[in-house]
Amino acid sequence: MRVYAMRFALLSIGAWLSGALVEAWAQPATPIPAQMPPQAALPTQEDHPTAVLPEPSPRWIYVLEPVFPYLVASKMWILDGDDLSIKGMVNGGYLPNAVLSHDKSRFWIAETYWSRGSRGTRTDVVTAWDTKTLDPLGEVILPNGRFLVVPKKHNATLSHDGRYLFSFNMDPAFSLSVVDVNEMKYLGELDTQGCSLAFATGTNSVASICPDGRFVHLTFDASGKLTKTELSEPWFDSQNDPVFEHAAVHRPSKRAFFISYDGWVYPVTLDGMPKVGERWKLQGPGDEEWRPGGWQLAAFHAASNRLFVTMHKGGKWTHKQAGDEVWVFDVAAKKRVHRLPLDHHSPTIAVSQDEKPLLFALTETAILMSYDTTTWQKKAERSALGISPWLLYTFGE
């Protein structure tokens, strides 16, 4: 019938737009049987195409939602940072980690599936997504699995040249799975010697944090084979004042700031074997009641040398308490330059890397806020962003 033929022509264009690789993923288009109610395929006056996004803006915010307590149904939301309108979303698997490409063309999600939702055969994959079409472009199987944990940003990252994706694995042997994302190929595991997380330090090197407060630094060759394992001296007291996992890392400048439970800032250069600078403290005189805390509690804006940290009033072991304020520091002067009281207390923040950056704060109750850091005015607020959005990402960070 003519009606059906028209619809399929439109569909074919959609499939073409969304890229040939998608075909491998999708069910083959099924012809519409004649028994379909005839109204179902009435010709429409309007076209019904699929939107394609422009190149991501540095002011867009990517929000990873693991979806508690429906963890097999995770999502990543993409929003315009200025008005917090939805640009689109993608689905992920169990306890996912996201990694954004350097060139803005891709992001990857390291994720875990079971063949029957939460049971059956387990499969761990890194899935590549096109940032404009939001179509999956392919996947790489992680044969040794992934670290299954409430999502933390530094469970997965990208090498300085953007070629190797590192996915931390505790199965429970500790290693980093290496995926060549240019070739979409799994290269192997780097033994982290019992150390955790992934901080890229070069094109062919990556560091992890050890239980005793050291870095382990791993260098590997083009085949993914470990060629060198170095241990740093302990640089923080992992027994009495551990650093949060959510260091503020800025990949382009290779700078990172690790923050301890008690509020010490450890500046680290991630260029080869990590170099730890002199530590300094967030709290000054009169700030004794305040502590850093939350989840993704720190963000760094490289161009202005500003470090943002969520702070709350609380005693020891309140390290997961959401921040009532964001404190802003000039890391060159090691001095606080602003205190921003948040309308809703937030465990997680991020900052855009453009010239007049936006500060994003995310609550435990699915509210996302966007602040202009030049005026400290709130630009937008959005509630009900899913039920448990968790991590924030921006391009260029």
Q: Which residues bind a copy of itself (CB under 8 A)?
A: 25-27, 30, 32-33, 35-37, 40, 67, 70-73, 91-93, 113, 115-123, 125, 127, 136, 139, 171-174, 194, 387
Choose the one of other proteins, a copy of itself, none that binds residue 115, judging by a C-beta under 5 to 8 angstroms depending on kind. a copy of itself
Name which position in 59, 106, 152, 254 contacts other proteins (CB under 8 A). 152
What DSSP state is assigned to residue 6? H
In this structure, what token pair is assigned to residue 54? Answer: 């422009």
CA distance readout (Å), 1 to 10, 99, 380: 15, 46, 49
182 burial via Cβ count (<10 Å: 0-12, 13-18, 19+): exposed
Stretch touching other proteins by CB under 8 A, among 145-153, 156-164, 278-286, 299-307: 145-153
Instruction: Indicate which single residue of 141, 143, 252, 317 sits in contact with other proteins (rule: CB under 8 A).
Output: 317
Chain positions 237 to 296 lying near other proteins, rule: CB under 8 A, are: 238-240, 242-245
Residues in the chain: 397
Task: Identify whether 69 is preceded by a cis peptide bond (ω within 30 of 0).
Answer: yes
Residue 318's binding partner out of a copy of itself, other proteins, none, with CB under 5 to 8 Å set by partner kind? other proteins
Burial annotation 17-43 (CB, 10 A radius, 16+ → b, else e): ebeeebeeeeeeeeeeeeeeeeeebee
Instruction: List b or e across 251-280, with b for residues whose CB sees 16 or more CB atoms inside 10 angstroms.
Output: beebbbbbbbbbbbbbbbebeebbebeebe
CB of 375 to other proteins, least distance (A): 27
Dihedral, 194, 107, 298, 202 alpha carbons, nearest 10: 60
Is the distance from CB of 376 to CB of 358 less than 8 angstroms?
no
User: Residue 2 CB: number of other CB atoms within 10 A?
Assistant: 8
Position 87 contacts other proteins (CB under 8 A): yes
Q: Which residues contact 279 (CB under 8 A, 6 or more apart)?
A: 264, 265, 266, 267
Could you say which of other proteins, a copy of itself, none residue 16 binds, taking C-beta under 5 to 8 angstroms by partner kind?
Answer: none
59: partner contacted, choices a copy of itself, other proteins, none (Cβ within 5-8 A by kind): none
Shortest reach from residue 155's CB to a copy of itself, in Å: 18
- Positions in 8-27 near other proteins (CB under 8 A): 8, 10-11, 14-15, 18, 26-27
State the sign of the Cα–Cα–Cα–Cα dihedral 260, 263, 264, 268: positive
214 binds other proteins (CB under 8 A): yes
Q: Which stretch binds other proteins (CB under 8 A): 37-45, 97-105, 280-288, 389-397?
A: 37-45
Query: How many chain residues touch other proteins (CB under 8 A)?
Result: 107
Interface with other proteins (CB under 8 A), residue from 126, 178, 210, 362: 210
Choose from a copy of itself, other proteins, none: what does 173 bind? Cβ within 5-8 Å by kind: a copy of itself
Partner in contact with 98, chosen from other proteins, a copy of itself, none, beta carbon below 5 to 8 Å by kind: none
Do 340 and 376 contact (CB within 8 A), yes or no?
yes
44 makes contact with other proteins (CB under 8 A): yes
The torsion angle over the Cα atoms of residues 378, 266, 255 and 81, rounded to 10 degrees, is -10
Name which of 222 and 387 has its Cβ closer to other proteins. Answer: 387
Measured CA to CA in angstroms, residue 94 lies from 44, 72, 122, 167 at distances of: 39, 5, 10, 14
Options 58, 82, 102, 148; binder of other proteins; rule CB under 8 A: 148
Provide the minimum distance between the beta carbon of 161 and a copy of itself in the complex, in angstroms, as a whole number: 28
Closest by CA to 159, choosing from 109, 106, 198, 215, is 198
Among residues 108 and 359, whose Cβ is nearest to other proteins? 108
Taking the least distance from each CB to other proteins, the nearer of 262 and 330 is 262
Q: Please state the closest distance from residue 275 (CB atom) to a copy of itself, in A.
A: 28
Phi, psi of 14 (to 5 degrees): -60, -45
- Is the CB of 41 or the CB of 184 nearer to other proteins? 41
> Candidates 102-110, 157-165, 181-189, 317-325 — which segment interacts with other proteins by CB under 8 A?
317-325
Per CB under 8 A, contacts with other proteins among 170-209 are 170-172, 191, 193-197, 208-209
**CA distance to 115, 235, 285, 287, per residue, from 332 (Å):** 51, 20, 19, 20
By CB under 8 A, residue 54 contacts other proteins: no
